[in-house]
Chains A and B, each alone.
Chain A
Amino acid sequence: MKTAVQIASDVQRGASSADEQLSLSLEAVRARNEELHVFLYVDEDGAREAAARVDDVIAKGDNAGPLAGVPIAIKDNVCQRGVPTTCGSKILQGWRPPYSATVIDRLLAAGAVPVGKTNLDEFAMGSSTENSAFGPTRNPLCPSRVPGGSSGGSAAAVAADMTPLAIGSDTGGSIRQPAALCGIVGMKPTYGLVSRYGLIAFSSSLDQIGPFAKTVTDAATLLEVLAGHDPMDSTSLPEPSPSLVAHLNDGVAGKRIGVVTELIEGADDEIVNEVRRALQAFRDAGATVVELSIPELRLGLSAYYLIAPAEASSNLARYDGVRYGLRVDAADVTAMNEATRTAGFGDEVKRRIMLGTYALSAGYYDAYYGQALKVRTQMIDAFARAYREVDFLVGATTPTVAFAIGEKASNPMAMYLSDVFTIPTNLAGEAAITVPFGTGEADLPIGVQLLGPGRSEAQLLSAARVLELADGRP
């Protein structure tokens, strides 16, 4: 399949059309969606209309935008007007948002064609997409294994060549972990770089929308479209969208790069080996590599599993059966709230609501939530100290390659550990990217993670491009 950049170029100069590209995409979806369960909803009519608008613009001789006619998959926790949006939950089954997320408006303005909504762990809580109320997604590279999660559907859509691009959300690794397990590029941008308006909140202080793509160049192109200040999101950074594509070939010559002990310890040997090989590639490209330890990162998982559930317990309170989504009738309103939430939420969501409610409760706040906030501050300080020594950091994205469906489903702690390397970036509100680099067991892909300070996207993308070239991809 062609890259997004190639497709946009073909469509803009008339070598292809948005409608033709959409047909190719829909064909690929039809070929494998039943097997892989990537899309929860394919918005064929809406996509045809969007493609027709792009083709009209081009027919008039105008520029249709940097993503002209590029099909894109949307994680089903991003609101798109009139399109069913479920968050992978029965509690929102059948709900059609009356408004679109800012990122949807930006994608349409850039000529992209949203094809449909992809599967996810319910309310983005999970690391395998097995927590979807509508059944798991399978890894296109090895269908007996998970694609990762929570944005497993979006990662699988790109890995299965259904769409060249997808958007996901990353709260603790939900873009980078599935991207690594599916062998594609995924980026968690700096908190506030991409508007969250219209992203259904899991943990508001950690959630961030970001791109999936097969190539670093496509990911950069998509992120440029998504990024930039949005007055509808108070936490949106004030600056306009950064220039990313123009810096893709900046390389790493003269850069100081830190490999972090805590971001490889516990990973399988085959993964550590690929990280070491990536470091050599950086050295070969003129960078200096130093080893460093950031012990605070070890506290990340514990802090995350207090902060994220605490915010989630509040964010998910609104699913009460009163206004939209599922309602299970009962004798009075309190009983109706309880019956609705009992029937509508899955086990993992309930587990985190209970954890979060507990962590915020009077008498426990200081020991749990309050303590986690302190750890978060320590982590921010620790990263800041590291970035005084080096330009960016390197580690593994995941401890293992894609694991088998069902392997960790009954053991929440084992599942939580699969995000141990990705969580610190979210707590710090900084940027990180995963880029495929080599393979491991059963020829499954391995991702190398590059972490940088806030607003370091251009640097991380150009470094990822160095690895992409070193791994033999053009």
Chain B
Amino acid sequence: MTLANGWEIVVGLEVHTELKTASKMFCGCANSFGAEPNTNICPVCLGLPGSLPVLNERAVELAMAIGMALHSTIAPSTFHRKNYFYPDMPKDFQISQYDLPINVGGYLDLPDASRVSIERAHLEEDTGKSTHLGGTGRLQGAERSLVDYNRSGVPLVEIVSGPDIRSSAQARAYAQELRGILIATGASDGRMEEGSMRIDANVSIRKANAPFGTRCEIKNLNSLRSLQRAIDYEALRQVELLEGGGTVRQETRHWDELLGETSTMRVKEDADDYRYFREPDLVDLAPDQSWQDRVRAGLSPMPAERRQKLAARLIDPTSAQLDAVEVVIDLGLDDLVERAVDEGVSATLAISRAANELAASIDEVKNFSSESFTATLLMEQRGELSATQAKTVLAELLTHGGDPHEVAREMGFEQLSSSSLGATVAALIEEHPDEWTRYREGDEKLAQFFIGQVMKLTKGQANGKSVVAELQARR
């Protein structure tokens, strides 16, 4: 979307990601989504009087991995308390990093070659989860509020970009690329719908090259689609305001996915004073070089590198093929594709089937073996399955699993293997010596005769092209 009258969108994103550690940030409770409410809790993550936090080293490693992937400097850091009252925050303060975060600076290059600067990526703990009954569904005015502290103390990294993003599409591309990085580092599963990656967008508008305008922070962006829609809505709202002679008020706004609108949550004047101060119950965090080196050595390739590697498998790729490569990387399907190509599947076919058929059933892919993928595509490539049949077999394998050959046979798809096809053709030649002679002398029409006979014998399971190939071989 382009704004009218020379207005330009300016966006900075704050992305919170839950770290995929086995235990919580400051205690030994399990860090898992979807357990019965208030079952993964202990004195520490409940903030009981007398309890003390002890930092989870794995959380530090994942935070460093994120920083390394974003070209940040790993810096000596400290923890602070962010003080405010909220029922789902059991200590009524959040342990976070303030003026000295673990990851300082950095950048993220997007597939379109644009670069977005990273200001910081710091560690903090998550809060519990409130459910408000009655009223508007928010805390104030609710009849009853229920709190689940399972999420309390789950480790988070907040990644803050510079105000470098200039369109909602670029914002989406940034979030998507970042998501790929979070998954590649093993820091996150990137599941926005489960809240393991949450985005706040700071949106303002300005005329080209003018100083930045007043920004609004938009909360509750639970999908890439919401992110893009909310930024567009908010930018248009600000254009209308300014062109109508008004001013933008600095405030926090809530995105309503159903209405497709942002609305005021709180204005800056009544923003809390968080009274940050050093968390006296924790010691400073300064990972030494050998610890950093170990983390760096364990890093898997990042999406940009993987994208390049996969694209290199294609000869003179079209832009549609490059788009497909991007989809494969975003969905983390490149491993399946690479293995299939190593086993002899053409890169074009493997990328296409991954970007379309596998992408359509992405939730099922985690139970899908690379062997099944490769075997199905090889059958297709050898002509044993038609394209349509191969897609149907893939869909069946994704939903119900099984062996590709058996699935193909059960579905009545499996065409004759070349050896049995060869035997059938040889038998037919013996049975029909006249037709065979005419064919050998150049009457191509007789190929159709032999194909028809083969189809009759195999109840239609043979592939015409393969029959012709067998005939050609004996001519």
Residues of chain A touching chain B, judged by Cβ–Cβ distance below 8 Å, are 77-79, 85, 87, 92, 95, 97-99, 101, 196-201, 203-205, 231-235, 310-311, 313-314, 317-318, 320, 322-324, 332-334, 337, 357, 360-362, 365, 369
Further 15 A-B residue pairs, CB within 8 A, beyond A234-B55, A317-B83: A78-B50, A79-B50, A99-B43, A101-B50, A197-B51, A234-B53, A234-B281, A311-B280, A317-B93, A318-B47, A322-B90, A323-B47, A332-B142, A337-B85, A361-B275
Interface size on B, residues (CB 8 A): 33
Which residues of chain A come closer than 8 Å to B92, judged between CB atoms?
317-318, 320
Cβ-based interface call for B6 (8 A): no
What 7 A-B pairs have minimum CB-CB distances, sorted nearest first? A317-B92, A205-B280, A360-B275, A204-B280, A200-B49, A198-B50, A79-B50
Q: Are B87 and A99 touching (Cβ within 8 A)?
A: no
Q: Are B87 and A333 in contact (CB under 8 A)?
A: yes
Would B49 and A232 count as touching, CB distance under 8 A?
A: no
Tell me the smallest distance from the CB of B307 to a CB of chain A, in Å: 41
Q: Using Cβ atoms and an 8 Å threshold, which residues of chain B touch A369?
A: 277
User: In the complex, are the beta carbons of A314 and B81 less than 8 A apart?
Assistant: yes
CA of A79 to CA of B51, assembled, Å: 9
Q: Is the CB–CB distance between B85 and A317 below 8 Å?
A: yes
Residues of chain B from 126 to 177 with CB closer than 8 A to chain A in the complex: 139-142, 145, 147
Rounded to whole Å, the gap between the CB of B66 and the closest CB of chain A is 23
By a CB distance below 8 angstroms, the chain A residues around B141 are: 332
Assess the A196–B52 pair: CB atoms within 8 A. yes
Interface string of B281-302 (1 = CB under 8 A from A): 1110000000000000000000
Contact of B85 among A98, A200, A234, A334 (CB under 8 A): A334
In the assembled complex, how far is the CB of residue A203 from the closest CB belonging to chain B, in whole angstroms? Answer: 8
- Determine the main DSSP class of B at the interface with A: loop
Give B82-105 as 1s and 0s: 1 = Cβ < 8 Å from A's Cβ atoms: 010101001111000000000000
Alpha-carbon separation in the docked complex, A320 to B141 (Å): 18
**B54 interface hit (Cβ, 8 Å):** yes
Question: Given known contacts A200-B49, A323-B90, A332-B140, is B54 in contact with A310 (CB within 8 Å)?
Answer: no
Shortest Cβ gap from A375 to chain B (Å): 15
- Once bound together, how far apart are the Cα atoms of A79 and B50, in whole Å? 7
A-B pairs with beta carbons under 8 Å apart, 23 shown: A77-B50, A79-B48, A95-B49, A97-B43, A197-B52, A233-B52, A234-B52, A311-B277, A314-B81, A314-B83, A314-B93, A317-B83, A317-B91, A318-B47, A320-B92, A322-B90, A323-B46, A332-B140, A332-B141, A337-B85, A360-B275, A361-B273, A362-B273
Q: Which of B190-228 contact A (CB under 8 A)?
A: none
Q: B364-380 toward A: CB 8 Å interface, digit per residue (1/0)?
A: 00000000000000000
> With A and B bound together, what is the CA distance between A157 and B51 in angstroms?
26
Residues of B near A311 (CB, < 8 A) are 277, 280
CB proximity of B23 to chain A, nearest CB, Å: 14
A324 lies within 8 A of B48 (CB):
yes
Nearest chain B CB to A355 CB, angstrom units: 13
Name the distance in Å between A190's Cβ and chain B's nearest Cβ: 15
- Secondary structure at chain A's binding surface: helix, strand, loop or mixed? loop
Q: Are B50 and A201 in contact (CB under 8 A)?
A: yes
- A199 proximity list for chain B (CB < 8 A): 50
A77 to B49, CA, bound (A): 9
B148 to chain A, nearest CB (A): 12
Contact B277 A310 (CB under 8 A): yes
A79 to chain B: closest residue by CB: B50
Closest to B43 in A: A99
- Near A by CB (< 8 A), chain B positions 250-290 give 273, 275-277, 280-283
**B451 CB to nearest chain A CB (Å):** 77
Flag if B47 contacts A320 (CB, 8 Å). no
- Return A180 CB to nearest CB of chain B, in Å: 27
Mask: chain B, 39-81; 1 = CB below 8 Å from A; 0 = not: 0000100111111111100000000000000000000000001
Quote the shortest CB–CB distance from B131 to chain A (angstroms). Answer: 13
Q: CA A199 – CA B281 in complex, angstroms?
A: 12
Complex CA gap A234/B83 in Å reads: 21
Known: A234-B55, A317-B91. A360 touches B277 (CB 8 A): yes
**Are the CB atoms of A197 and B50 closer together than 8 Å?**
yes
Shortest Cβ distance from residue A193 to the other chain B in the assembled complex, whole angstroms? 15
Which one of A232, A323, A361 lies within 8 Å of B52 (CB-CB)?
Answer: A232
Min CB gap B268→A, angstroms: 13
- Residues of chain B contacted by A85 (CB below 8 angstroms): 49
Please pick, from A99, A204, A360, the residue contacting B281 in the complex, using a CB distance under 8 A: A204
Given contacts A318-B91, A332-B140, A332-B141, contact A234 B49 (CB under 8 A): no
Contacts A204-B281, A234-B282, A361-B275 given; indicate if A322 touches B91 (C-beta within 8 A): no
**Chain A nearest CB, measured from B87 CB (Å):** 5
Report which residue of A78, A87, A232 has the largest number of chain B beta carbons within 10 angstroms of its beta carbon: A232
In the bound complex, how far is the Cα of B46 from the Cα of A317, in angstroms? Answer: 13
The answer to whether A235 and B277 have CB atoms under 8 Å apart is no
- Are A234 and B93 in contact, CB atoms less than 8 angstroms apart? no
CA distance A333 to B147 in the complex (A): 13
